[in-house]
Amino acid sequence: MEKAYWLARKRASLKLARNAAGSESRLIHYDMAGRYGLNAASEQTQRIDLAASLPASSDGTRSGRPDDTDDA
C-alpha cells in the first residue's frame, strides 16, 4: 500500500514534468519524481508493506510490525 502510494506520486510527477511549460518547472517535477522513487524503494516502506500483509495474531495485533519511530 505504502509503496503503491509513492509509485503513484512518482508517475504523477513524471506526467507533470512532461507537460511543464518551463525548464525549471520540468526539472523540479523530475527531482520530485526521483525522490518519490527513492521513498518507494526504501527499506522502511518495504517493512510497512510487509507488516500490513502479515496476518493478525491472536491478541489482535500484527506480528513483526515495525515501530512508529523515525530514524531521522
Distance CA 38, CA 69 (A): 19
pTM: 0.66
**What are the domain boundaries of the chain?**
2-48
pLDDT at 20: 96
pLDDT digits (tens, 9 = 90+) for 59-69: 665 555 555 55
Q: Exposed, middle or buried: residue 36 (CB in 10 Å: 0-12, 13-18, 19+)?
A: buried
Task: Compare 57 and 26 and report the one with higher pLDDT.
Answer: 26
Size (the chain), residues: 72
pLDDT tens-digit readout, 32-67? 999 999 888 888 888 888 888 888 766 665 555 555
